[in-house]
Structure 1
Amino acid sequence: MTETMDQIYSSWANRLRNNQGIRSLMEDLGKVTGHPDEILLGGGNPAKIPEAEALFQETFSRVAKHPTLRSLLGDYQAPTGNDSFREIAAEFLSLHLDANLKKENIAFFNGSQNAYSFLLNLHSGPMANGSFKKILLPVVPEYIGYADQTITEDVFIAYPPKVVVTGKHRFRYELNENTFDLKEVGVLALSRPTNPTGNVLPLSDLEWMEEQTIPKRIPILIDLAYGNPFPNLIGNGKPIFYREGRTLSLSFSKIGLPGVRFGIVVSNEDTIETLSSFAAVNNLAVGNLGLFMMEHLFENEILPNLSNNILRPFYEKKRDLALALFTTAFEKLGVDYEIHDPMGGFFLWIRFPSLSVSNHELYHLCKDKSLFIVSGHYFFPGLNSDFSHTKECIRLTYCRKEEELARGAEILAEIVASHQANSK
């Protein structure tokens, strides 16, 4: 009988194995069986929108009939994309990001998650001058997928945000300028709209932070996966444009193409050149399908029209429906709850102040009932302060069908009502 040899892995590998929120989230997505009792409110899959699906089908068919199909299937791109595609993106994005971009400002990756793994490691950990730099998350909670991307441990810094009551059962997180500290910081990272809360950081906050970061030559990474120019789910917020000192990350996932794995980075020439080295070592090359689809979707403002006339109205309607369904279910059973103002994206961030179990335990209680949610404790990397929201909040997607949202609201309300501090 052959004995299994115990493996000794690197500390980085062990840290990944011992985690982690993003793995749990994606495994939940991958393990669903399709049983009608399953209620999938945890993942980040975009909704299936018939008008968008038809457009993608037409785009895919056009790509398949392209005279250069052999290049699509049989040729490598450069690590961050060949110059012809980079020029197409630079021309398109110059119009939509209010900047005079060149191909040297553009890099393509196999998803923006892939791009961020390079960007975060580029600006943190042991530096070439002997210093050690960290990543500041200006407002937490923040995206679940950042926390475990750095090779170096303990590089995230975060402080409790301002919590502002905005109405009955409503609140909002805001930048706390009093705790903003750039000591040891090599880069700032934020998403807009914020995943998980749907918060759309005011441009005035971004500009205030840049008054502090630019003199210190500290860059700001801005994840626009749900933001402008596509899918442009920013509610009443003003769009972010490209400026020196900002690195913007865009994605095709939330327009409805997560399986294509295509992301775009817009930054200064030196950063893009360095990212090309990262990409060559780790990926060899960016995949071709996203590039060929991008070429079509950028023509004649197809993608902006999809974003503004189909995606935004659809998700805003879904948001309002979800708010109504969950509010009704919570009120009916006397649930103590608060919802972060959903200003953009497609998630609800819900706090249960009287919950007698942790949000992670709530996740498992819901999963036992075939209701999939995401525990909020994963969304606070670098926060070492005692902040009650880390144990009281969950994230839900409202991309699902009405009947699934309604059943999920009822089950969640029943579980929370029976696990409140004042429940009998």
Structure 2
Amino acid sequence: MTETMDQIYSLWANRLRNNQGIRSLMEDLGKATGHPNEILLGGGNPAHIPEAESIFHETFGNLTKDSTLRSLLGDYQAPIGNDSFRTLAADYLSPFFHADLKKENIAFFNGSQNAYSFLLNLHSGAMSNGSFKKILLPIVPEYIGYADQSITDDVFYATPPNVVKTGKNSFRYELDKSNFNLTDVGVIALSRPTNPTGNVLSLSDLEWMEEKTKQQNIPMLIDLAYGNPFPNLIGEGEPVLFKEGRTLSLSFSKIGLPGVRFGIVVSDPETIETLSSFAAVSNLAVGNLGVYMMEMLFQQNTLPKLSKNILRPYYESKLKLALELFTTEFQKMGVDYEIHDPMGGFFLWIRFPSLTISNQELYHLCKDKWLFIVSGHYFFPGLNTDFSHTKECIRLTYCRKEEELARGAQILAEIVASHQAKSK
């Protein structure tokens, strides 16, 4: 009998093959055709900001002129970066995190996504003492890219958030402390600002969780891809600092360099040492380009000024514009909608309470009109209870040009208006 593909692959491989979350998102990004009607509001690409790109162009140009070009192209780094670069990063980042960091606290990866594939598996699944540990997402929706990182199946655990109305057409999610259960939990993971909603969990909420986790020696992974110290898109939120029990991840992607694939992990020396073994097996070494660009950007102290003077003003103005455009179209078409308070990052998380189709069906209807969004059902890994938002919400980026946002708002409003329950 001929075996099917499912029979010759591992359970893990079959789960990856069936994944439609992060793969669908990235394939939509990669299949951009340049069609004149294409409206790309689904992906996580940062905006192309001329002032920022000018800085990166100069930095990259300096690398090509420098005597380091030979080493950049022709030599391996160590698995998580050479000691000299890690020392530079530790010295530079210490003041931002109010910590005395050493190179033993620093690891470089080919993007923070790559780092999380190690970090999540480091603390979950079958443990050496015979127990089975889960990954707690304390507030969902949460980043689409976490869901299929685990080698072991059924390791994510989540409970619905508290939904707080903040206006007629606005709301926000809050941590549900009454359902905070650490039974069989090996690690807590969260992003701040949260992708997809733009939520910025308060420092008091983080500290409340840590009071519970430190009793059981449960680490906390905090993804700062959109957070401090760069690009620092956290609105009025206070910055996260480094302390015992926390592992922080930073990314160059959201400052405007997603193609460089460079991420930084800040953690305790034991975790960093283990990550070095992971990295050696899977990657051999971190890529050179991000490391060398980091060296120049850190030495020139470029990123704080870039974040404060260019990135934050740009994205704040884009957010204001997007809210005006979508609100106008929704109200004009009589759409029943709610928008999560966008406290950071560069996404809108929109709920359609009267939608008569699923958000996944809405995604396909929009795609038929060349409008790309992301269905919200992907952002709830580990949630095993009924929660209406899993079928009613979408995520879209407001990083695109004004005319693209305007056309996207019009198409989305028209489709939702024709697929929502009639008001009584």
Smaller-chain TM-score range?
A: over 0.9
Partner AA of 1:161 in structure 2 = P
Q: Could you tell me which amino acid in structure 2 is paired with residue 268 of structure 1?
A: D
SS in 2 for 1:181: coil
Match of 2:26 in 1: 26
| Offset, 1:387 | 0.2
Give the structure 2 partner of residue 42 of structure 1: 42
Sequence identity of aligned pairs in percent? 80
Structure-to-structure mapping, 1:314-353, within 5 angstroms: 314-353=314-353
- Once the two structures are superposed, residues 232-263 of structure 1 have per-residue CA deviations (whole angstroms, 9 ceiling, x without a partner) of 00000000010010000000000000000000
Secondary structure, aligned partner of 1:92: helix
Q: How does 1:250-289 map to 2 (within 5 A)?
A: 250-289=250-289
**Counterpart Cα distance in 2 of 1:408 and 1:300:** 39
Matched, 1:396 2:393: no
The answer on 1:164 being equivalent to 2:164 is yes
| In 1, Cα distance between equivalents of 2:256 and 2:423 | 41
Hey, what does 1:73 align to over in structure 2?
A: 73
Q: 1:54 and 1:179 mapped to 2: Cα distance?
A: 48
What is aligned with 2:117? Answer: 117
Matched residue, 2:128: 128
Q: Specify the SS of the correspondent of 1:264.
A: strand
Q: Is the 8 A contact 1:20 1:148 kept in 2?
A: no
Give TM-score scaled by structure 1 length: 0.98
**Deviation by residue 1:353-392 (Cα, 9 ceiling, x = unmatched):** 0000000000000000000000000000000000000000
Aligned match of 1:356: 356
Q: Residue 422 of structure 1: CA displacement?
A: 1.2
Question: Partners in 1 of 2:320 and 2:154 — Cα distance?
Answer: 39
SS of the counterpart of 2:34? coil
Name the residue aligned to 1:10. 10
Give CA-to-partner distance per residue, 1:82-124, whole Å, 9 cap, x none.
0000011001110111110000000000000000000000000
Contact in 2 for aligned 1:140/1:379 (Cα 8 Å):
yes
Post-superposition offset of 1:292: 0.3
Whichever residue aligns with residue 392 of structure 2, its letter is: E
Tell which deviates more after alignment, 300-309 or 37-46.
300-309
* Matching residue of 1:107: 107
For residues 208 and 76 of structure 1, the distance between their equivalents in structure 2, rounded to whole angstroms, comes to 42
State the AA in 2 paired with 1:392. E
1:146 and 2:146 correspond: yes
Matched residue of 1:298: which SS? helix
Q: Tell me the secondary structure at the aligned position of residue 210 of structure 2.
A: helix
Q: Report deviation, 1:36.
A: 1.7
* d(CA) in 2 for partners of 1:149, 1:347: 22
Q: After TM superposition, which residue ranges in structure 1, 4 or more long, deviate above 2 angstroms? A: 4-7
Equivalence for 1:192: 192
Gaps of 5+ in 2: none
Unaligned runs of 5+ in 1: none
TM-score, with normalisation over the residues of structure 2?
A: 0.98
Structure-1 separation of matches of 2:368 and 2:159:
34
Shifted more, 236-245 versus 299-308: the winner is 299-308
CA distance in 2, matches of 1:408, 1:226: 24
Distance, in Å, in 2 between the alignment partners of 1:109 and 1:15 is 24
1:285 match: secondary structure:
coil
Q: Secondary structure at the match of 2:160?
A: coil
Q: What is the distance in 1 between the residues matched to 2:113 and 2:381?
A: 16
Alignment correspondent of 2:409: 409
C-alpha contact 1:230 1:303 (8 A) present in aligned 2: yes
Separation in structure 1 between the aligned mates of residue 136 and residue 151 of structure 2, nearest angstrom: 16
Aligned to 1:90: 90
Residue type at the aligned position of 1:214: K
Q: Which residue in 1 is equivalent to 2:217?
A: 217
State the alpha-carbon separation in 2 of the partners of residues 117 and 65 from structure 1: 35
Q: Distance in 2 between matches of 1:252 and 1:400?
A: 19
- Write the distance in 2 (CA, Å) between the matches of 1:160 and 1:359: 18
Tell me if structure 2 keeps the 8 A contact 1:105–1:272: yes
Indicate the SS of the match to 2:166.
strand
Residue 176 of structure 2 is aligned to residue 176 of structure 1:
yes
- Number of the residue aligned with 2:373: 373
Task: String of CA shifts for 1:109-145, please: whole Å, max 9, x gaps.
Answer: 0000000000000000000111110000000000000
Deviation readout 1:244-297 (Å, 9 max, x if unpaired): 100000000000000000000000000000000000000000000000000011
* Aligned residue type for 2:125: G
Q: CA deviation at 1:300?
A: 3.2
Deviates further, 330-339 or 4-13: 4-13
User: Following TM superposition, by how much is the alpha carbon of 1:5 offset from its aligned partner in structure 2, in angstroms?
Assistant: 7.6
Aligned length: 422
Deviation at 1:423, TM superposition (A): 7.6
